[in-house]
């Protein structure tokens, strides 16, 4: 399921218009339409909503942010994630509170390009260590 499907389902079940949903979510009616069609007429590509957009939709439909993330499938790309891990977004957000994630993202945005590269390399090294530890744990079982 993509975010637009979730919005359309909610609007249909609650008999509300796109404009009413837009007001409820704080999004523009045009953007709600773009989300539901999953097509951006400006660039001709599928929609890639931000975490803020997902959070606004979750609030509007009365669902927990993590629940919304969990129902989105791998076909729903989300801004701020490098390609290839968007299908894992639910695991990331479930294990890290959204406020912490937003703070981490804000810190990242304020770093110089050289520091961003260092952070990426450090995170990559940590992930390799994590993978090595997993493999070690698996071999001792």
**In the predicted structure, residue 5 carries a pLDDT above the cut 80:** yes
Which of the four pLDDT bands, split at 50, 70 and 90, describes residue 17? Answer: very high
The mean pLDDT value for 38-42 works out to 82
* The predicted structure's pLDDT at residue 75: 59
Q: Which two tokens stand for residue 128?
A: 């390799």
| Residue among 105, 127, 126, 125 at smallest CA distance from 116 | 105
**In the predicted structure, residue 109 carries a pLDDT above the cut 70:** yes
Q: Which two tokens stand for residue 35?
A: 């989300």
pTM value is 0.54
Q: Which two tokens stand for residue 123?
A: 């995170």
- HEC string of the chain? CCHHHHHHHHHHHHCCCHHHHHHHHCCCHHHHHHHHHCCECCCCECCCCCHHHHHHHHHHHCCCHHHHHHHCCCCCCCCCCCCCCHHHHHHHHHHCCHHHHHHHHHHHHHCCHHHHHHHHHHHHHHHHHHHHHHHHHHHHC
* The predicted structure's pLDDT at residue 72: 83
């Amino acid at each position: 399921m993509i975010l637009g499907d979730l919005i359309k389902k909610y609007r249909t079940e609650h008999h509300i218009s796109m404009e009413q949903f837009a007001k409820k979510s704080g999004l523009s009616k045009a953007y709600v339409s773009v989300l539901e069609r999953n097509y951006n007429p400006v660039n001709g590509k599928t929609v890639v909503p931000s975490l803020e957009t997902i959070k606004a939709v979750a609030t509007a439909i009365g669902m927990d942010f993590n629940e919304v993330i969990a129902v989105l499938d791998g076909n729903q790309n989300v801004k701020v994630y490098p390609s290839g891990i968007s299908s894992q977004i639910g695991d990331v957000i479930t294990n890290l509170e959204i406020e912490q994630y937003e703070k981490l993202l804000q810190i990242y945005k304020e770093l110089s390009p050289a520091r961003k590269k260092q952070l990426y390399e450090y995170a990559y090294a940590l992930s390799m260590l994590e993978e090595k530890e997993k493999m070690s744990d698996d071999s001792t079982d």
